[in-house]
């Protein structure tokens, strides 16, 4: 019997969190869902973090993913934006870790490279390639959802090559891999 694996891909954000799910049967991936959590109407940053956590838990409880692939924050010049994005990513990771789901982090360049063969591809190029790969009839208006789906597909392409991204199987693994950052 061929093992079935569900991968949840997340593009964290405090304005829009994109996510996508694929099912892997043997060496074949199948599209399950892509969508986004629109947070634009909320002003309270902490409420946004709560909603990200709750939506991620809801996705986990509904689809029972075996693994989570998450896009790592890219380094920008605006420190406040980076801090907010890092918090959004951390909350999504905490949701997965609370359910003991292995999480792998991929840089935006690595995801783009896995999908298009070009680490500098545009969001539109990534979306079009996903549309072709997964036979998607339409693409969403906002491409954050396809960015989340791209993280899941990137993870599929990197099965067995996990050393390329940071991977955590639970809180203890996360703490162990980040001991140097944790003050004692």
Catalytic site includes residue 67: no
- Is 38 within any annotated ligand binding site? no
177: left (phi over 0), alpha (psi -120 to 50) or beta: alpha
36, 67, 105, 144: the catalytic one is: 144
Mean pLDDT of 40-68: 97
Q: Which of 36, 71, 105, 147 is catalytic?
A: 71
Percent with pLDDT over 90 in the chain:
73
Model confidence band, residue 176 (pLDDT cutoffs 50, 70, 90): low
pLDDT at 162: 42
Q: Is 105 one of the annotated binding-site residues?
A: no
Q: Is 144 labelled a binding residue?
A: yes
The residue whose two tokens read 């989570």 is 68
pLDDT at 141: 86
11 catalytic? Reply is yes
pLDDT for 93 beyond 80: yes
> Parallel, antiparallel, or unpaired: how do β-strands 16-25 and 103-106 relate?
unpaired
Give catalytic status of residue 66 as yes or no.
no
Residue 138: which pLDDT band, with cuts at 50, 70 and 90?
Answer: very high
């Amino acid at each position: 019997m061929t093992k079935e694996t569900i991968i949840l891909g997340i593009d964290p954000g405090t304005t829009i969190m994109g996510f996508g799910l694929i099912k892997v049967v043997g060496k074949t991936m199948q599209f399950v869902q892509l969508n986004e959590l629109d947070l634009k109407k909320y002003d309270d940053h902490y409420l946004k973090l709560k909603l990200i956590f709750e939506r991620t838990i809801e996705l986990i409880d509904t689809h029972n993913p075996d693994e989570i692939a998450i896009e790592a924050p890219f380094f920008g010049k605006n420190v406040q934006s980076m801090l907010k994005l890092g918090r959004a990513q951390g909350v999504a990771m905490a949701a997965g870790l609370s359910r003991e789901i292995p999480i792998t982090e991929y840089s935006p360049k690595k995801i783009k490279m896995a999908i298009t063969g070009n680490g500098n591809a545009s969001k539109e190029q990534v979306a079009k390639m996903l549309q072709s790969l997964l036979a998607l009839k339409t693409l969403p208006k906002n491409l954050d959802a396809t960015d989340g789906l791209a993280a899941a597909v990137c993870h599929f392409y990197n099965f067995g090559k996990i050393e390329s991204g940071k991977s955590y199987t639970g809180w203890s693994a996360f703490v162990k891999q980040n001991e140097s950052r944790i003050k004692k």
